[in-house]
Structure 1
Amino acid sequence: MLIACPHCTAVNRVPDDRLVDDPVCGRCGKPVLSGQPVELTDATFDAVVSKTELPVVVDFWAPWCGPCRMMAPQFEKAAAALKGSAMLVKVNSDNHPLSASRFSIRSIPTMVMLRRGAEVKRLSGAFQAAQIVDWVAQPPTSRLRTQAAASAGASRPR
């Protein structure tokens, strides 16, 4: 399984049976899957989400947002529960507007699940850890798959 380090963006090969064993990056030595959400920036976003084979769940948030602050500990619990099956990351939409605008984030908190950089599904609002874990485990609906395919095509340069 290829996992991009959320700290230095180096791509690491991690055997599937070692995903829950706190694998560390071969370049920077930091954990690539710690079971804790990692903050991404506009500079690191594409490299991490496009090169990671696990689903990446992005929490778009802002520090002034009350529901975002309420959901933060729940997102952390979900990250621990999903360790080895998904990478959970956060993007401060105020500090990193390019990443937020790329996915047309209109309200926060909004979670977007990506596979190899392509949107699979999204969910807006504040949720409990169990709800986040259940949402990640559910397959996308055909409507969402169609929307994701359309938005992926619309975002390609012509």
Structure 2
Amino acid sequence: MYLKNDRILTALSIMLDVAFYAGRSGVVSGADIAKRSGLLRRGIEPVLQALSRAGLLDSVRGPKGGYRLGRSPRVVSLHEIVCAVGIRDQVAAFQGKGNNPLQSLVIAPLWAELNDGIKERLSGITLADLLQQAERSGLERPRQAPISFTI
């Protein structure tokens, strides 16, 4: 289910953070992501792993390691991010829960319809759209400083 799910919001926040601060070429550490989002590193680690397994993030090892986008922000939809953190099957589980006819005949179909609408909307929004929205809001993306070899 999409509505108010902390794991989904964390995944969206992580992906936007990486897109904003690192993009495809730079790298951002998990500790920096956690610090900017106000979350614990160990709390976001399972979400980082799920996003990496789905190919949405690339994990870079080493002392300067961290995460970068696995694909261009233009082709990563918000729905893909939601699916990467394992939300797909929760609607079916909700529909089969209990023997309450009001729930199974009224609430569950309504919830499925709402989720289908949200799925369609999220499929049409990309990380690039969110980056453009951030820029329109006045946020400036960090610039990579050129390497200086001055002695």
Same fold (TM over 0.5): no
Give the TM interval when normalised to the shorter protein.
under 0.3
Q: Which has the larger radius of gyration?
A: 2
Q: Which structure has more RCO (C-alpha within 8 Å, separation ≥ 6)?
A: 2
TM-score (norm 1): 0.26
Bigger strand share: 1
TM-score (norm 2): 0.27
